[in-house]
Amino acid sequence: MQQQTGRVWRAAALALVDSAQLVCLGQTETVAVTPSADAFVRSLAPASNYGAAGSLSVSGSAAVNGSGQQNGLFDSLMRFPMSDLVTSFEGSFGTNGWVVTGATLAVTEVGAPNNGIFNRGVGAFEVRWIASDTWVEGRGKPTGPTTDGVAYQDLGGVLNPAADVSLGTFTNGGVDGVLSFPLPLAGAMVSNIVAGGDLNLYLTAASASVGFTVNSRNFGTTSAWPALQVTAVAKPVAAISSIGMVGTNQVAIRFNTASNWVYVVEGVSSLASGGWSNVFTVPAKPFDDQAEFVDTMTNGWRFYRLMLSR
């Protein structure tokens, strides 16, 4: 029996060494990133680029400008660089010591644009994460469109229904002011953030009435630019605190849990063979807690490791 106990404690040491991370539980950080490129495109000028405009716009088929004229469908594209964000999080939490817990798109709406090219109206629009990073912002303006960047006729090559992910439908306010749209943490978008590459969003009308105009990165006041606000928290330590025999062939595994994380104890009889299997799961809880699992030993060797996810 002493031989079994020694081998169980060896398993505990493996779990502690493999998963130790020097991070502060509960630490949270939010980083706001402004676009490195943005542009709107317009169906009535399918070959024209508006990448240097001071505004972005999303419009449906029924929205009209201040003079009652319908100026076609509008869609918008935004590109947010994630490299500095990753550097910031890793500086705070350590390499791979953080997890994304929130993402919000913040924009400054212009309820009644002065330029007659823009339609007005309250309605629904969709935000999509798009896989393509090939579109070019361009230098076109409403007063002087160009052909050196993305245009409405290019959307077929930019969008990919098989890879792009809808992040939900939202509604504008129709008045001047800052609007924030919490985005769901779609797997593709989160992977994009963690990888540190450019993240691209596409905004398109989800109702005919929407005529939504916001300040772009070319607007004169930088505080009014669009921003993607990403929140991350420190990844808790996944560590078995103690392992001990509680019977002739049973072992108790104890560990602390952090709120809103799922903990999984995996076991294997031979490290050489691999084949770790799930033996115990603690579902996510809204509070910190302690967990204990009692396992029945089937032979002289039993190794355990503790995994966690959010």
In the β-sheet with 262-268, what is the strand arrangement from edge to edge? Answer: 277-282, 262-268, 303-309
Same structural domain, 150 and 226? yes
Q: Are residues 127 and 157 in the same domain?
A: yes
Q: Do 178 and 255 sit in the same domain of this protein? A: no
Q: Which domain holds residue 246?
A: 2-20+237-309
220, 294: one domain: no
Q: Which of 209, 234, 259 is the last residue of a domain?
A: 234
Task: Please tell me whether residue 155 adopts helix, strand or coil conformation.
Answer: helix
**How many structural domains does the chain have?**
2
pLDDT tens digits for the chain (310 residues)? Answer: 223 333 333 343 343 323 323 333 457 999 999 999 999 999 999 999 999 999 999 999 999 999 999 999 999 999 999 999 999 999 999 888 898 999 999 999 999 999 999 999 999 999 999 999 999 999 999 999 999 999 999 999 999 999 999 999 999 999 999 999 999 999 999 999 999 999 999 999 999 999 999 999 999 999 999 999 999 998 887 888 888 888 778 889 999 888 778 899 998 888 887 789 999 999 988 778 899 999 887 666 778 899 888 7
Among residues 234, 255, 272, the one where a domain terminates is 234
Q: Are residues 259 and 120 in the same domain?
A: no
In the numeric block, the tokens 């005529």 are attached to 211
| Residue 54 and residue 107 in one domain | yes
**pTM (2 d.p.):** 0.78
3-class SS of residue 273: coil
Contact (Cβ atoms closer than 8 angstroms) between residue 185 and residue 100: yes
Whether 221 and 242 map to the same domain: the answer is no
pLDDT score at 231: 96
| Pair (217, 241) in one structural domain | no
Residue 254, H or E segment = strand 250-257
Residues 204 and 245 in one domain: no
Q: Of 234, 255, 274, which marks where a domain is finished?
A: 234
